[in-house]
Each structure stands twice: as C-alpha cells, then as structure tokens.
Chains A and B, each alone.
Chain A
Amino acid sequence: MALSAATLEVGATRTEVVLENISRTRLVMYAGASGDYNPLHTDEVYITQVAGYPTVFAHGMLSMGATGKLLTDWVGNGRLTKYGVRFVNQVWPGETLTATATVEAIREEGGVHYADFSVTTVNQDGKPVVTGSATARLDA
C-alpha cells in the first residue's frame, strides 16, 4: 500500500525498532551479503590489536539498510526516489536501533506527488547513529 498525498500530513511521524541486540553474527551476515569484508567489522583480533578499537563495530550500511525498512514499511515498496544519510556515531554489538521518520514536506512536481522525510536512527541510549532524509513518490 502506497501513501496518498490526500491523507498524509506534514509533521506525521513513524518510529520502529529496526534491529534489536545486534550480534557479531549479524555483522558477519552483512559482510557476506554485501561483499564488504573489512575486518573492522568482523575480526576481533585485528580490530583490538591493530586498528585500536575496543571491539568490532557495525558497517554503516547495515544501519542505513535497517533504517530503510522503516521508510519502505511506511511509503510502500519501490516508492523511494531519494535516500541519504550521514553516519554520526558507531554502532557496537549488543545495540538496539530505533528509526524515526517525519514528513517535512508534501509537494507536486510535474504532476507527481512527493513527500520529503527527515530520518534519524538512535541506539538504546538515544544517541543518534544515522541522520538523513528521504523522498518518496505518493499516490494522488
């Protein structure tokens, strides 16, 4: 079900837990599926002894991918026209990510209706990890 420009309002907001208690195995899953095998994300020996971090941390693209679920659950499948984020804090194993999207604008361009969203994903302490924006095509 896609959203309709007639019923959606600026300021409408939606929140969803998109990843819960992130395991190291999930980081391995993401590495294997994406082809990003950077040992920063999966190799405890390398990251603690060579890279100088306390433990492995999640691929930024895992957080962005999970955050995309909130957007597509709301706007419908295949409706996004833009989606962009900044990675503002690292995500560590054991964290739970909650994504929130808010309608910032509803507009018409060349006879097509669009909604612009702001997007923020926070960890279990409310610390933002991903912030960004998205645009989706709406039904009339």
Chain B
Amino acid sequence: MTIERFPVEESHILMFARAIGDENPVYTDPGSPEAAEFGGVIAPPTFTMAGMQFDPDAFLRPKLGEPWFGSASEPSGATIESTGRLHAEQHFEYHRPLVAGEILRAEERQGESWAKESKRGGTLQFEEMFVDYVSVDTGDIVVTARMVSVLPSQAVQG
C-alpha cells in the first residue's frame, strides 16, 4: 500500500462517523464548540483506515476494466487467492489530533509473519504491517498504525 495523498476532509469524516455510529459534533459539525476547540472537525480514532480510498492499488475496491471477485451475474467474477484474509488485530498510536483540512501520506513498513494451527480456522497465516500517516505540510507523524491480518485455510467456524 502506498498513499501519496490522503486529504482529510469534513464530508468524509461525517460519512465515516455516521457509519461507525458516533455522531459526536466534534466529528460531524464544523460549527460546534467541540470542533472549534480544534479549529475544525477532527477525525475519529479509527479514521485513518479510510486512507484506503486514496490507495490507487487498493485490492478491496472494484476497479474499471478489472475483474472483481464479488458477485455480479455469477457468484464470483474472478479467482483471487487471498480473498479470505481477515483482520486479526489493529493498533493505533496518536501523536496529535487529526483535523479536517490536513493532507496526509502513508508510509508502510512490513512487520513479521508467522503461522498457527487453530480448530476454528485451520492453518492461520499471520502478517504484520506498520503504517505511518505523515502530514504532507509539516512532515510530522500524526498516527502510527499496526495491523495484523490472518489468512485461514478454511472458513472460520462459529
């Protein structure tokens, strides 16, 4: 994942806040006293995940002219090996609040990978990744994210 330019915008934060069920005015109302404290609406704690919208290669978004693995007239439009990769862990470190109007870039670092046997998911292949979300204007790291994903060898039971 490489994101050169992730503009953090009011309307995007509003949609994200509605989706997670947190309509705190600090996220949804730029005219509120809550937002005024920060000079604008701020991003909810998990918002940087939406940087995926600005990754030109994001694997989990249908792209023009490319087969998509979800259904259309058939149950799957493409065979892709790792469609079943699941999210195992997510960690964030916040260096300061993220305010609408800022522009970030994301710098990714590969972490460890390991395997584990499980009754519910068969062989589990884990992968760790770090992402620094950096302010394009100031060069400071605003949020550091650490993600662990898992690819089970079978659909996870119960």
- Could you tell me the distance between the alpha carbons of A18 and B87 in the complex, rounded to whole angstroms? 20
State the CA gap A33–B62 with chains docked (Å).
15
Give complex CA distance A84, B15 in Å: 23
In the complex, how many angstroms separate the beta carbon of B114 from the nearest chain A beta carbon?
Answer: 15
Number of interface residues of A (CB under 8 A): 46
Interface contact A64-B60, CB-CB below 8 Å: no
In the complex, B111 has a CB within 8 A of chain A? no
CB contact between B19 and one of A29, A73, A78, A85 (< 8 Å): that residue = A29
Taken together as a complex, chains A and B put the C-alpha atoms of A86 and B146 apart, in Å, by 11
The CA-CA distance from A38 to B84 in the complex, in Å, is 9
Cα–Cα, bound, A59→B90 (Å)? 12
Asked whether A39 lies within 8 Å of B88 as measured between CB atoms, the reply is no
Given contacts A36-B60, A51-B155, contact A86 B88 (CB under 8 A): yes
Contacts of A33 in B (CB 8 A): 12, 15-16, 18-19, 50
Q: Which A44-102 residues have C-beta < 8 A from chain B?
A: 45-46, 49-53, 59-62, 64-66, 68-69, 71-73, 77-78, 80-87, 90
A32 within 8 A of B: yes
Q: Is the CB of A34 within 8 A of B89?
A: no
* CB neighbours of B37 from chain A (8 A): 77-78
Q: Is the CB of A77 within 8 A of B42?
A: yes
Q: Does B20 contact A (CB under 8 A)?
A: yes
| CB atoms of B71 and A43 under 8 A apart | yes
Closest B residue by C-beta to A26: B19
Give complex CA distance A60, B49 in Å: 11
A50 touches B75 (CB 8 A): yes
Determine if B21 and A60 form an interchain contact, defined as CB atoms under 8 angstroms apart: no
Query: Which residue on chain B has the smallest CB distance to residue A133?
Result: B91
Fill in one digit per residue for B51-73: 1 if any A CB lies within 8 Å of its CB, else 0: 11101001011100000011100
